[in-house]
């Protein structure tokens, strides 16, 4: 028994630095200089899910990304964490893609690499956070899919000696929906699914020798009208920063005085402090 598994990842600017992102006042473009690039955090949960399934039933794990040439560093990191091989889709022609064009490009890259039984992604990327690529990728691949997956159980068919179906939970607001899904399938995983493993020194050593394929636009079978900016039905307009500033009156004095001032503010805002019985808050 063996499964061919893919994991789609995305290098993103480190979310810890998003407060530093500004908009160039003249060029009206986003300035992210000096912000390090990392692997989109939940994509590591996606790789962890793939590795666990490989350990359970056997198979291969391929990581793929559509990124600028330095995306190779992120792929090496995933190889060090345990993936078997990697593929970088990189070409200026892929640039400016929205989620539909991105998912199409990824789908064509995956098709070039073979017939996958399972494709994992993170639910969303930290930067754009559209969370749209997984569902659209599944459409291009013609596969079943689930989004926001928080639990996966393989259903092994002992007689056939293969996995044809799995059970999974999709996290919704305040609960979940349980599904049975036939393979092949795309699963977008949530951070609740698992805890990604640490990368060992041995893993880093091994990663250097693992195969990493680079595909440009000429290496994959793509319809040029469906990739990059031209293949994107959505077009970006102006960018701006939301105004979040408020007047910021500082209350001063000792703690008791500040408490009194605050109570006045609450009353002025229409909060009735008297009617709440003390038994409500007792603990």
* Ranges within 67-126 binding another protein (CB under 8 A): 98-100, 103, 124, 126
Within residues 14-53, the interface with another protein by CB under 8 A covers 15, 18-19, 21, 23, 30, 32
d(CA 110, CA 4): 11
Candidate residues 128, 197, 212, 229; the one interacting with another protein per rule CB under 8 A = 128
CA distance 79 to 65: 13
Q: List binders of another protein among 165-194 (CB under 8 A).
A: 167, 170-182, 185
Site for another protein in 242-281 (CB under 8 A): 242, 244-251, 255-256, 258-260, 262-263, 265-266, 269-271, 273-274, 276, 278, 280-281
255: left (phi over 0), alpha (psi -120 to 50) or beta: alpha
Sole residue written with tokens 């007047």:
247
Angle between helix 71-81 and helix 41-57 axes, rounded to 10 deg: 40
| 56 vs 130, beta carbon nearer another protein | 130
Can you give the length of the chain in residues?
Answer: 283
Using CB under 8 A as the binding rule, the residues of this chain from 187 to 226 that contact another protein are: none
CB 111 → another protein: shortest distance, Å? 16
Concatenated DSSP letters of 69-133: TTHHHHHHHHHHHT-SEEEEE--GGGTT--HHHHHHHHHHHHHHH---SEEEEES--SSS----H
Q: Which is nearer to another protein, 88 or 190 (CB)?
A: 190
Q: Please, what is the minimum distance in Å from the beta carbon of residue 244 to another protein?
A: 5
Closest approach of another protein to the CB of residue 64, in Å? 18
């Amino acid at each position: 028994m063996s499964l061919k598994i893919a994991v789609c990842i995305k290098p993103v600017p480190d979310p810890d630095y998003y407060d530093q992102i500004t908009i160039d006042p003249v060029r009206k473009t986003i300035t992210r200089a000096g912000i390090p690039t990392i692997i989109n955090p939940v994509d590591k949960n996606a790789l962890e899910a793939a590795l666990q399934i490989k350990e359970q039933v056997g198979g291969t794990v391929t990581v793929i990304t559509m990124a600028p040439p330095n995306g190779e560093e992120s792929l090496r990191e995933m190889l060090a964490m345990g993936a078997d091989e990697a593929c970088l889709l990189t070409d200026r022609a892929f640039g400016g893609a929205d989620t539909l064009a991105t998912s199409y490009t990824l789908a064509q890259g995956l098709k070039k690499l073979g017939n996958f039984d399972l494709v994992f992604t993170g639910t969303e990327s930290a930067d754009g956070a559209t969370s749209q690529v997984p569902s659209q990728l599944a459409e291009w691949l013609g596969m079943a899919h689930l989004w926001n997956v928080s639990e996966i159980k393989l259903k092994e068919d002992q007689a056939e000696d293969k996995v044809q179906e799995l059970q999974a939970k999709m996290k919704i607001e305040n609960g979940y929906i349980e599904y049975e899904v036939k393979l092949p399938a795309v699963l977008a995983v949530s951070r609740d699914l698992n805890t990604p493993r640490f990368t060992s020194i041995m893993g880093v050593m091994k990663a250097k020798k693992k195969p990493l394929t680079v595909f440009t636009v000429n290496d994959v079978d793509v319809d040029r009208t469906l990739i990059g900016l031209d293949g994107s039905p959505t077009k970006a307009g102006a960018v701006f920063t939301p105004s979040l500033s408020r007047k910021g009156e500082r209350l001063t004095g000792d703690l008791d005085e500040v408490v009194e001032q605050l109570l006045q503010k609450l009353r002025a805002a229409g909060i009735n402090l008297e009617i709440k019985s003390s038994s409500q808050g007792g603990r």
